Amino acid sequence: MSTPLPAALCAALTERFDQRFSRGESTCLQHGRDESVHMPMLPGGVVFVENTDEIADVVRLCGEHGVPLIPYGVGSSVEGHVLAPQGGISLDMSGMNQILAIHAEDGDAVVQAGVTRMQLNAALKGTGLFFPIDPGADATLGGMAATRASGTNAVRYGTMKDNVLATTSVLADGRILKTGGRARKSSAGYDLTRLLVGSEGTLAIMSELTVKLYPIPEAISAAVCTFPDIESAVQTVIQTIQLGVPVARIELLDTLSLQAINQFSKTTLAEAPTLFFEFHGSPSGVEEQAETVQAIAADLGGANFEWATRPEDRSRLWQARHDAYFACLQLKPGCRCFPTDVCVPISRLAECIAATNADIAQVSIPIALFGHVGDGNFHLVVLVDPENAEEMAEAAWISARVVERAIAMEGTCTGEHGIGLGKRKYLVQEHGSVAVDVMRSIKMALDPHNRLNPGKIFPDT
């Protein structure tokens, strides 16, 4: 149960939003859980907003009554970002799903924060452009910006940090802040846009975003290649990146991941360590990239190359990859995922994965390994029963091992999931106390009463 909301706040929200303010148990439960292993933490109520002015109104009302506010998109986060450890109001932004402008000639679009990546790409059909950031889930762009998400295309197109040009955001006191602009570069003052991207809703609530768009490549080719072991697959990735091959996607899946995908998606992929590739460019450029990578892979034991050049075949292949998370959950019905997603310098990737596999061999719970290895990022899907203390202890052990190893290799405890509730204890270890003190100072300057998404990022909030 969450802390009851002040009666005066409930009256004010009902007057302002009528049926778009709800305290219903099922609605609060939906907004008090995500895809993480954390137990539900319910808000006291949910407000469904439709524009920036409405967000500002909710922020001011919550401020007047000392009530926390948690932004909510579609609830696809895996580190507890949308949970309400102190109760308060969940601000549902899924209704803010308007695409406000598409500037095809400049390669950018202005969207409300509740627009999803698939919705934006559907609206771009016929323009010759696409939005490349693809974390797998059909997440909202606001949520993706808040967690600095990336995904399968990051090795070529970067992360949300690289692709948000501007925001309209609401500060903790209700003021509306404009950051950035549509110009592709600027040296005017502090970069407030990148300050907010990755802040997980703790500094301001992003209501509108201006994002970069890219030309759809003239030619696209995808391929699958199996390997005798994980080490050979990872060495293929390292050599491909070090040679400067401009591959668009390189995804690694271990044997357990492929077994889960075949069961879940009814595919017939070889159940062995596998790399998925995608190449973008001109027909000759794509062919050259593919030939180079195939030669690298063959030297390292790669075999069974299968090519997919037709759009429907590529879509089927990448849908299978995106199904990996939910496919793994089906390996242990009723389980939850204790996730981790470290990222290390590419030269340390093979070493990090090899040591992680040695740890996996020491535990009893099923653990799948896959990831966006083209930029050194990989995930463990650790399947646990949250009610089983022994399983949770094993999951916490292996998560701590892989995180501490990644940080020791000058990597990060989270490549794209964010800190949320789950990774708070690693922030000082990764960044140092001085950096975290600076982060706290920024938080206090923008949100002195700790109203915006409290309990996230910092260890003791």
| pLDDT tens figures, 164-197 | 999 999 999 999 999 999 999 999 999 999 999 9
Does 218-418 match 99-215 at the fold level? no
Q: Is the confidence at residue 461, as pLDDT, over 60?
A: no
Q: By mean pLDDT, which of 64-73, 132-141, 310-319 is the weakest?
A: 310-319
CB-CB neighbours of 181 under 10 Å = 12
At residue 291, the pLDDT reads 92
Residue 270 confidence class, pLDDT cut points 50, 70, 90: very high
Sheet with 176-180, edge to edge strand ranges: 99-103, 108-112, 205-212, 164-170, 176-180
| Res. 339: pLDDT tops 90 | no
Q: How far apart are CA 71 and CA 458, in angstroms?
A: 17
pLDDT > 90 fraction of the chain, expressed in percent and rounded = 89
**367-408 pLDDT per residue, tens:** 999 999 999 999 999 999 999 999 999 999 999 999 999 999
| Domain 99-215 of CATH type 3.40.10.10 | no
* pLDDT score, position 144: 97
pLDDT for position 322? 86
Global pTM value: 0.94
List all residues 6 or more positions away from 180 whose beta carbon is below 8 Å from its beta carbon. 164, 165, 166, 167, 186, 191, 192, 193, 210
Compute, in degrees rounded to 10, the torsion defined by CA atoms 399, 402, 408, 410.
-100
pLDDT score of 2 more than 70: no
218-418 under CATH 3.40.462.10, yes or no: yes
Among candidates 190, 185, 139, which has minimal Cα distance to 160? 139
Instruction: Identify the pLDDT of residue 313.
Output: 85
pLDDT digits (tens, 9 = 90+) for 200-235: 999 999 999 999 999 999 999 999 999 999 999 999
Domain residue ranges of the chain, discontinuous segments joined by +: 7-94, 99-215, 218-418, 423-461
Judge whether residue 1 has pLDDT over 60. Answer: no
| pLDDT digit string, tens, across residues 66-103 | 999 999 999 999 999 999 999 999 999 999 999 999 99
Query: Would the pLDDT of 301 be above 90?
Result: yes
**CATH class belonging to 7-94:** alpha beta
Residue 54: CB atoms within 10 Å:
21
Q: Does 21 score more than 80 pLDDT?
A: yes
pLDDT averaged over every residue in the chain = 95
Tens-place pLDDT, residues 233-261: 999 999 999 999 999 999 999 999 999 99
d(CA 318, CA 372): 13
CA distance 282 to 220: 8
Q: How confident is the model at residue 121 (pLDDT cuts 50, 70, 90)?
A: very high
The pLDDT, as a whole number, for residue 154 is 93
Whether residue 309 has pLDDT greater than 90:
no
